[in-house]
Amino acid sequence: MGQPQPDRVPESDYAAEAPGGSGVSPRDSTDPTPKILPLRPSNGQAEPESELPLEKGATTPQRSIELEDLRRINTRKGVIELLRRKRVRLGRVLETLHYQEELAALQVELGKMQRWVVAKQRRVAVLFEGRDAAGKGGAIRRFTEHLNPREMRLVALPVPTDEERGQWYFQRYSRQLPNPGEIVFFDRSWYNRAVVEPVNEFCTDRQYNRFMQQVPEFEHMLYEDGVIVVKFWFSISQEEQLRRFKSRNSNPLKQWKLSSIDEKAQGLWDKYSHYKKEMFSRTHTSYSPWIIVRANDKKQARLESIRYVLNLLPYAEKDSATVPITPDPNIVSRFHRAAPDLD
């Protein structure tokens, strides 16, 4: 006899039959629908189900999942039937659960990586760049939420002061570079001057050209001094950016993310594209390459960018990872002029 096959929950919202069977209970051969079996009190009377009032035009009571519902489920078929009745999208639920499991396992590896950085006194700077609403902030939160806050920093500098405007452009960023044994995450970086500032006319042509000339030299000095710099560009399509802007605008909890620059981003799309291409062409180097993250799918972008950093650094116990740490090349890859472009 072959090995028994494990039960699988059907993908369809409405499928309630167990694989390999008709779904007919031996107790009730006339009704093929799996039942939620109620628990009976000691007096043998069935416990009445509380129902919400019928909505207008509805033919069945509308109910939410409550503790009593969970108590009544005492068979696998009962679980399936409850999910069917509540119109739960099983595929989406399973996808979210898988994402959360993968993320938790990768965050364990990030903790190992941080301990290695501290023990070896390494300096790591991770730069997150990309268009507005590309998912940079969400990715940073997944990187940092379980790291030791004493050994890492998040840098998101505000508009420069009058004093800072009179300084060497890289000066205020140099102050934020990692100390030995520290990881620093930059939510936007010195590359503001490569794209955001010229697009919105926040700098002169002379300031822009000087920056583009100096930035490879600046990053080469960091490389020679042993600072590990990771440069991410989160890439999204114009349609996805617009969808996210609309979502932010309709969600009171996300409206703080919108700014006057965001409002102009769609109209300036082509101008952003021009300066982005110039930045890649002139600042992508062998010692400080640009890493492109295809970020239309936020969850994939978060997982694969974490994998890239884990795969890059030779931290201890990497071989004992319980989750793959090699990034998907269809999501994360080094910049290449011939590569297809989302934005």
pLDDT tens track for 188-229: 999 999 999 999 999 999 999 999 999 999 999 999 999 999
pLDDT tens track for 276-326: 999 999 999 999 999 999 999 999 999 999 999 999 999 999 999 999 999
In this structure, the chain runs to a length of: 343
pLDDT confidence of residue 93: 76
Q: What is the DSSP string of 299-317?
A: HHHHHHHHHHHHHHS--TT
Q: Give me the numbers of helices (H) and strands (E) for the chain, helices first please.
A: 12, 6
| Beta carbons within 8 Å of 69's beta carbon, 6+ residues apart | 36, 63, 82
Q: What is the mean pLDDT of residues 81-101?
A: 80
Query: What backbone phi and psi angles, to 5 degrees, belong to 24?
Result: -85, 125
Instruction: Go through the domains of the chain in sequence order and give each one's CATH number.
Output: 34-88 (no CATH), 97-334 (3.40.50.300)
Task: Residue 323: count other Cβ atoms within 10 Å of its Cβ.
Answer: 17
